[in-house]
Amino acid sequence: MARVVVVGAGLGGLAAAARLAAAGHAVTVLERSPGIGGKLGRYARDGHVFDTGPSLVTLPQILDDLFTATGARMADELDLVRLDPAVAYRFGDGTRLTVPGRPEDIPGALDTALGSGSGAQWTALMARAAAMWRISEQPFLRSPLDGARTLARLARRPTDVATVAPWQTLRQLGSRYLAHPHLRTLLDRYATYSGSDPRRAPAVLATVAYAEQRFGSWYVRGGLHRLAEVVADRAHAHGAVLRTGCAVRSVLVEGGRAAGVALDGGEVVPADVVVSDIDATALYADLLPVERRTMGVRRDLRRTTPSLSGFALLLALRGRTPGLAHHTVLFPEDYDAEFDAVFGAAPHPVTDPTVYVSAPDDPALRPDEDSESWFVLVNAPRHDPGSGIDWDEAGLADRYADAVLDVLARRGLDVRNRLRWREIRTPADLERDTGSPGGSIYGTSSNGARAAFLRPGNVSPVPGLFLVGGSAHPGGGLPLVTLSAEIVARLVGRS
Ligand SMILES: Cc1cc2nc3c(=O)[nH]c(=O)nc-3n(C[C@H](O)[C@H](O)[C@H](O)COP(=O)(O)OP(=O)(O)OC[C@H]3O[C@@H](n4cnc5c(N)ncnc54)[C@H](O)[C@@H]3O)c2cc1C
């Protein structure tokens, strides 16, 4: 039995704690905020309740594995609902497309909305994405990053390399398979699931679309923050101790290996194993001593592009919106202008952004039956007062919130006169609340063919120190973060 300290109670940290405690280790989780969940946060006021981070669960089988490994049945712990329709899209020219929740219904819906042949093109693309998924799931997503060995596992057969086409971008893949510009926009959007630009992200991100459609879009009744609570319960049930309000100042290194952590205020928590769930850039820059052996990781991190951030509005609304889907996406005329604004040389708030609305029809999230609680999100450049956007600049957040509400109104969802109140979450708030530098949603982006290999691995160069969470391998988003915990639990179990 090892003494394990987990730094950070985001989903990755909680999942690692639950698995390691279930494996018999003595686990303590240290979280600097007053509550758990990190980006998987919740905000409640006047009976309106909001998820402040994730609003979509994909790949539920990965969560199912977590519950099974910790001695519970997911169905007993979480009320997961498969969404149908999955998402309602409105394009810049007014075209509407409602994507059904079952994969077999999708081609027909595409033909109806975008013209005959669209469904067949999308189906051909999804067949390619399915092949990519089969090649990459086990050797990459479910295995530790292992340099040359990872590459060898991925490139076992020349045909696998041709299928994954690491030299091709997501945009290029879309152009080969899809004729209708709206179909291409649909595919491009999946780059943003890892905070990336489809013009630079690899073609293999088509697997994100495949995984979502094949395994479904899901919602957790009561709000997705429930997920953090029930995973924390799994950790508790196996004896893990969760301490909130405990900021870790440094990882202690003794005799060349991790020996525990020191908290702000000076308390030392000794450990045989330290699992970091905090942003990897912050871990290597602020919590570890500068050492030669960590130089390679720091250099790789400098070569990556941080993921995009988000500007969120929590809208407490009077009345209900007839026919509104759980998820609605309103695209602009010029999608590329959005990626230029976020990732270009002169980052700025997107003038005419894609607007995402999550409006769960869930009585637990509203004060009464004549109200709605909307989570509205637009892609945004990171908080970077030095050389980019300073989201704390006086008046900016309010002005931009007004602009987003105007865009919503122009695209057919005018809620300005139904507003009880609004709560604004800028990238600067995200940075303050979760410790993610600049408020990056997903750690480093997938921009560039090598991005996935530059992301910090789960095994650090300091023996006894492991990384989980969205800024480490295999990347951000709830399913991958949960996989990072599975990988680390396996590695610690073996050590
Ligand atoms: C607006 C938004 C929308 C999103 N939408 C989706 C979605 O729909 N679907 C999806 O799958 N994913 C989505 N994501 C991504 C998903 O939320 C994240 O990938 C995931 O929750 C990150 O988990 P994590 O384990 O990396 O920890 P984080 O959530 O990053 O938590 C890290 C924790 O570490 C703590 N911490 C930091 N520094 C210290 C320290 N020094 N000492 C102690 N504790 C510390 C922080 O307070 C925090 O609680 C979204 C994220 C955001 C922000």
Give 123's DSSP letter: H
CA 202 – CA 171 distance, rounded (Å): 8
CB of 33 sitting under 6 A from ligand 1: yes
Q: For the beta carbon of residue 390, count every other beta carbon within 10 angstroms.
A: 12
Of 305, 322, 392, 309, which is closest to residue 353 (Cα–Cα)?
Answer: 309
CB of 72 sitting under 6 A from ligand 1: no
pLDDT, averaged in runs of 10, over the chain (495 residues):
97 98 97 98 98 98 98 96 98 97 98 98 98 93 86 82 94 98 98 96 97 98 98 98 98 97 97 98 95 92 94 98 97 98 96 98 98 98 95 98 98 98 98 97 91 93 97 96 98 77
The partner residues of 296 in beta bridges, in order of sequence, read none
Cβ neighbours for 24, distance < 8 A, ≥ 6 positions apart: 1
CA 301 – CA 288 distance, rounded (Å): 15
Could you give the residue ranges of the DSSP H alpha helices within 411-456?
A: 427-434, 451-454
Q: Are strands 419-425 and 309-318 parallel, antiparallel or unpaired?
A: antiparallel
Tokens of 382: 């990171």
DSSP helix/strand/coil, 204: helix
CB of 273 sitting under 6 A from ligand 1: no
Q: Are strands 465-467 and 273-276 parallel, antiparallel or unpaired?
A: parallel
> Residue written as tokens 């109104």?
409
Q: Which helix (DSSP H) or strand (DSSP E) does residue 400 occupy?
A: helix 396-410
Q: Please check whether residue 478 is in contact with residue 228, taking contact to mean a CB–CB distance below 8 angstroms.
A: no
Q: Please check whether residue 488 is in contact with residue 334, taking contact to mean a CB–CB distance below 8 angstroms.
A: no
CA 271 – CA 495 distance, rounded (Å): 14
- Residue identifier of the C-alpha nearest atom 5 of ligand 1: 54
Question: How much is the pLDDT for 495?
Answer: 46
Q: For the beta carbon of residue 265, count every other beta carbon within 10 angstroms.
A: 8
- Residue identifier of the C-alpha nearest atom 47 of ligand 1: 434
Q: Please check whether residue 158 is in contact with residue 176, taking contact to mean a CB–CB distance below 8 angstroms.
A: no
CA 16 – CA 273 distance, rounded (Å): 12
- Does the predicted model carry a pTM greater than 0.95? yes
CB of 10 sitting under 6 A from ligand 1: yes
CA 275 – CA 251 distance, rounded (Å): 10
Cβ neighbours for 258, distance < 8 A, ≥ 6 positions apart: 251, 252, 271, 273, 274, 462, 463, 464, 465
CB of 478 sitting under 6 A from ligand 1: yes
Report the atom number in ligand 1 closest to the C-alpha of 263.
42
Report the atom number in ligand 1 closest to the C-alpha of 439.
53
CA 435 – CA 41 distance, rounded (Å): 13
> Residue written as tokens 């990781």?
297
CB of 441 sitting under 6 A from ligand 1: yes
DSSP helix/strand/coil, 226: helix
CA 451 – CA 447 distance, rounded (Å): 6
- Residue identifier of the C-alpha nearest atom 24 of ligand 1: 469
Question: How much is the pLDDT for 456?
Answer: 94
Of 319, 352, 355, 317, which is closest to residue 336 (Cα–Cα)?
Answer: 352
> Residue written as tokens 């999804």?
126
Quickly list DSSP for 100-119: -SSGGGHHHHHHHHH-TTHH
Question: How much is the pLDDT for 150?
Answer: 83
